Structure 1
Amino acid sequence: MTRLTDARRFYARLMAANAGAADPRLEAAFAAVPREAFLGPGPWTVIAGNGRVETPSADPIHIYQDVLVALDADKGINNGEPLLHAMWIGKIAPKPGEAVTHVGAGTGYYTALLARLVSPGGTVAAFELEVDLAARAKRNLEAYGNVTVIHGDAVTAGLPPSDIIYVNAGVAAPPAGWLKALKPSGRMVFPWRPAERVGLAVLVARTEQGFACDPFMRSWFIPCIGASVASPAAKIPDRGQAARSRSIWLTADKAPDRTATAIFGEVWFSSRSVGGRPQ
């Protein structure tokens, strides 16, 4: 047990350090939540490039690395890259008392991390569309009294008012309802996949002037069913246009103008910063 505890603590330290996290609670959360509890029984299948490698045994020490562990290999669903999530969680900076909506919760590992970071007083609504994964997440998160797992479609369902929306499935554009669900000063992070060769992680912040956005790193996730395909009428950005996006607007509030980098019906992206100049 000491060996495993040491491995988990070192893993947590590496995740937080590489993410440049300012909040020491992020390292503490990674150290406290046992990853193996969310993966099912070992040995585990690790995704390596275009292939798969099985861990030598069911010893959990093998999965305290920055590796992708398969949850449903046939569907391409994995537990996610821990370092990427450490960076994303560090970016959105969860605080005690905040309300989080987790879209694409999988079996609940990163839900558990978010739940710890908004405690005490905070809550997490975790949406998962895959029935088997949702059932596993409910079992895995039973000890987390501030988490509600919802087997449902986060695209068509109304999201609860949220300080944070944490999205783990690729979208052509965030549904208008997600933006509306953000509380004042709320934040959302999502994988933006407007085109096959464009994959960016985008941080959104709701301000008094509008929705500021920051495409801050490359990112690839499985598609979000119901929100991953743009309509034929959409204006699709290339990588450069997508990277220059600095704000997101609801078409109902503001019609697209010459600064539009991408247009998707109810939502469009602009190179103009909220209250600022085009990039």
Structure 2
Amino acid sequence: MSTIEDTRRFYARLMAANAGSSDPRLEEVFASVPREAFLGPGPWTIVAGNGRVTTPSADPSHIYQNVLVALDADKGINNGEPFLHAMWIGKLAPKLGETVTHIGAGTGYYTALLARLVSPGTLTAFELDDKLAHLARGNLKAYGNATVVHGDAVTMPLPPSDIIYVNAGVVAPPAGWLKALRPGGRMIFPWRPAERVPLAVMVTRTQKGFACDPFMRSWFIPCVGASVADLAAKIPTREQAARSRSIWLTSDKAPDRTATAIFGDVWFSSKNLGAKPGD
């Protein structure tokens, strides 16, 4: 019979392979951070399609698969798909000493992975749900570089960050999130400008502005306070959203003919930041 350590190691190999990351530390953190420690006592409820399946026992080997584990089934909150998070974290390429902000931390599992990858850098995790924030604080006590904030990341100021990791769907990233990115900083967020447009977007702050890359389909529960567009917004089609290559603050530049989407003080453009004026 395999031990739980063997199960974790194989799970970690699968996560690293799916991520396609060249950083061997990604496999190491998935192998060393116990997922069951962030899920509460088993048996656990697995979200499968439109249904739910309960694990046959509290044996943690049941949750070392690419499965969604319910945290609050009534609210539709789950622990997240490991393959997706491995891919996102690999794409962000966290470095030692970087500063991370995690928005929508849940009970802290992926927060812990990020905290390990940037240590001795620091991580601030925002969680709006009071119960989940309380659980995350307890779960992350062993991670001295991580701090949990029970509050609204949409309205509260974010710390200057090298990485912003967003786990709730937004119609557009608030201007404050973009401003919080340091030069060279990266942000991944689930972009949900319309029901028919669920995309994951990687943003990088360059010398020329905010480059963006809609790189895969993605769906997360809505981010309270940032998930509903106002009546004046320009909502993109799926094709327009996929063509977006940069994000601008309207205070820096007014929307022009390259605009694919406009949401108040933030707009998306089809213009690549490397393109010449007029292209």
Structure 1 SS opposite 2:173: coil
- Equivalent position of 1:47 in the other structure: 47
Normalising to structure 2: TM-score of the pair?
0.98
- Equivalent position of 1:143 in the other structure: 142
What whole-Å deviation, never above 9, does each CA across 1:148-192 have from its counterpart, x for those lacking one? 000000000000000000000000000000000000100000000
Deviation at residue 22 of structure 1 after TM alignment: 1.1
Structure 2 SS opposite 1:222: coil
Deviation at residue 85 of structure 1 after TM alignment: 0.2
Q: Kindly provide the amino acid, as one letter, of the partner of residue 246 in structure 1.
A: R
Normalising to structure 1: TM-score of the pair?
0.98
Indicate whether 1:231 and 2:239 are aligned.
Answer: no
Structure 2 SS opposite 1:242: helix
Q: Which moved more, 1:48-57 or 1:269-278?
A: 269-278
Deviation at residue 276 of structure 1 after TM alignment: 1.1
CA distance in 2, matches of 1:196, 1:18: 27
Indicate whether 1:162 and 2:131 are aligned.
Answer: no
CA distance in 2, matches of 1:217, 1:91: 12
- Equivalent position of 1:61 in the other structure: 61
CA distance in 2, matches of 1:2, 1:17: 21
Structure 1 unaligned blocks of 5 or more: none
Between the two proteins, the alignment pairs up a number of residues equal to 278
Deviation at residue 2 of structure 1 after TM alignment: 5.8
- Equivalent position of 2:257 in the other structure: 258
What aligned pairs does 1:158-237 form with structure 2 within 5 A after superposition?
A: 158-237=157-236
CA distance in 2, matches of 1:195, 1:188: 20
CA distance in 1, matches of 2:26, 2:85: 11
- Equivalent position of 2:244 in the other structure: 245
- Equivalent position of 2:76 in the other structure: 76
How high is the sequence identity, in percent, across the aligned residues?
Answer: 79
CA distance in 1, matches of 2:230, 2:185: 28
Q: Kindly provide the amino acid, as one letter, of the partner of residue 167 in structure 1.
A: V
Structure 2 SS opposite 1:83: helix
What whole-Å deviation, never above 9, does each CA across 1:56-89 have from its counterpart, x for those lacking one? 0000000000000000000000000000000000
Structure 2 unaligned blocks of 5 or more: none
Q: Kindly provide the amino acid, as one letter, of the partner of residue 13 in structure 1.
A: R
Structure 1 SS opposite 2:31: helix
Q: Kindly provide the amino acid, as one letter, of the partner of residue 163 in structure 1.
A: D
CA distance in 2, matches of 1:4, 1:82: 17
What whole-Å deviation, never above 9, does each CA across 1:70-128 have from its counterpart, x for those lacking one? 00000000000000000000011100000000000000000000000001x20100000
- Equivalent position of 1:109 in the other structure: 109
Q: Kindly provide the amino acid, as one letter, of the partner of residue 132 in structure 2.
A: L
Structure 2 SS opposite 1:53: strand
Q: Kindly provide the amino acid, as one letter, of the partner of residue 28 in structure 2.
A: A
Deviation at residue 275 of structure 1 after TM alignment: 3.1
Q: Kindly provide the amino acid, as one letter, of the partner of residue 150 in structure 1.
A: V
CA distance in 2, matches of 1:73, 1:21: 32
Structure 1: 4+ residue segments shifted above 2 A: none
CA distance in 2, matches of 1:157, 1:273: 31
CA distance in 2, matches of 1:149, 1:90: 23
Structure 1 SS opposite 2:74: helix
CA distance in 2, matches of 1:273, 1:117: 30
CA RMSD of aligned residues (A): 1.2
Structure 2 SS opposite 1:170: coil
Structure 1 SS opposite 2:251: coil
Structure 1 SS opposite 2:70: strand
Structure 2 SS opposite 1:122: coil
CA distance in 2, matches of 1:72, 1:18: 27
- Equivalent position of 1:134 in the other structure: 133
Q: Kindly provide the amino acid, as one letter, of the partner of residue 110 in structure 1.
A: Y
Deviation at residue 18 of structure 1 after TM alignment: 1.1
Structure 2 SS opposite 1:150: strand
CA distance in 2, matches of 1:249, 1:51: 40
